A and B are shown apart, each in its own frame.
Chain A
Amino acid sequence: MTDTQDNKTEGRQKRIGVMLLHGLTGMPSEMRPLAKHLEKLGARVEAPVLAGHGAGHKELLAAKWTDWVHGARKTLAELTAECDQVFVGGLSMGSSIASILAAGNPKVAGIIFLSTTLRYDGESVPPSYVLLPLVDFVPYLGELAYWTENPPYGLRDERLQRIITRSIERAKNGETNDFGLFRTYSGSLRQMCHMVRVVRRTAHKVTCPALIIHSLEDTLTSVRNAAEIYSRLGSEDKTVVGLTGCDHVLTLDLRKDEVARLVGEFVLRVSSQRERAGKQWVAA
């Protein structure tokens, strides 16, 4: 359904809004190909910079998980005020924020989980990850211990890997670049863990249709993360799609077009279903 005629409600343009949230240490640029596809379908897309992101490590370490959620909630409120139907989606940690925002929120028409991250359990995660809870007892560690991302950076696309390597080399040590930060301090990771507890506790309150996409070859977070969120969601309409031939950063990697197609189809399907349901309700 790409015809704009299909997106009309009673003579005026039906407005579909989609908020896309990037991952931890990421940037909105990682959502760009997906955003462009959704815009082509007629949706209005917002991809905010999450709190503490877009600068350096100091700024990111100063941000709490509640700041990430608060900033995204603000963008969602603006989008909701201007659109008839609003979808939320995110990549990796962004999908956790989307889940919190959708829990018990009837204004959210649908949710998209891309590379859901409830735990880092992929093969490229360092064994020292298990020591992360120590940060709660020795907060100083949060600013000392870090995890540096190395190739393949959660990507199967070798061309993109080379571009990122060059970009990192150009950037000053620890400073951000177009692709975000490639060093994740344990303090920020621990914030994410605290947020995930809330996601697990509240996921049953997410009742809108849900699309969960995950790579079967994800080197950072295994597809178990997708199965877990599927089992926890309260949605009646929920689907997991497991892809091969790509890695964690689904929105940029080799199957980004497939990901965009799936998300676009989901948004249009749910949107038209809601529209029909709304009309029936008015008629009754």
Chain B
Amino acid sequence: MGGSLTVEIHNTLNPLSSAEWRALFAAGASPDEVVRLLRDNGWAGASLHSIVVRQDKSAVALLPLIQAGGEGALARALRSAGSQSRRILSDIFGFSVLNEAALEAEDCLLGFAGDCPAETRSEARRLATGMLEIMASTMAITPSRRSELREVERGAVAVENLAVS
């Protein structure tokens, strides 16, 4: 067993090198394809994040996230996307929707390093999903926080619901 695990949240879909990404999502689409798909489908309001778990300095797991710009925007965009687009997305994302802090996520949506021992894998999964729940509950709109979030929205970021791979 190696050193301590750390968990990171990044404001980008893929903060890793291409080699590291391939190690985690061996058979999946590249993040560039996903970004292009988002752009082509007019998801201008979407912001991209990722949760990375590292052991020492090596990435052992990555959970990509899409924060949708408006309620239902994600579902509408999925419907309008063609079959090829859906294939690219489903390589990486299962598209559960986080709304009002209700979390739906599956283990298969996390990319793991192939050589990651079972014990580390289990701990990495715990850390990543724990951080995801915290992000979800922090970003979810509730009546008491609505006015504050509106102010943030004017600044740049729209926080209405969170779509999660």
Contact = CB atoms under 8 A, between A and B. Distances in A.
Given A204-B152, A234-B155, A234-B156, A244 B6 contact: yes
Interface of A is mostly: mixed
A133 interface: no
18 contacts: A203-B152, A204-B151, A216-B127, A223-B134, A227-B9, A227-B131, A227-B138, A230-B135, A230-B138, A231-B152, A231-B159, A236-B11, A237-B11, A238-B11, A239-B10, A242-B9, A244-B6, A245-B4
B156 A240 contact: no
Interface of B: 4-11, 15, 127, 130-131, 134-135, 137-139, 148, 151-152, 154-157, 159
A228 B138 contact: yes
Interface of A: 200-201, 203-205, 216, 223-224, 227-228, 230-232, 234-245, 255, 258
B135 A242 contact: no
A20 to B, nearest CB: 22
Given A241-B6, A244-B5, A204 B156 contact: yes
B157 A204 contact: yes
Nearest to B132: A227
Contacts of B152: 203-204, 231-232
A235 B11 contact: yes
Contact of B137 (A224, A230, A239, A242): A224
Contacts of B139: 227, 231
Nearest to A240: B9
Nearest to B47: A236
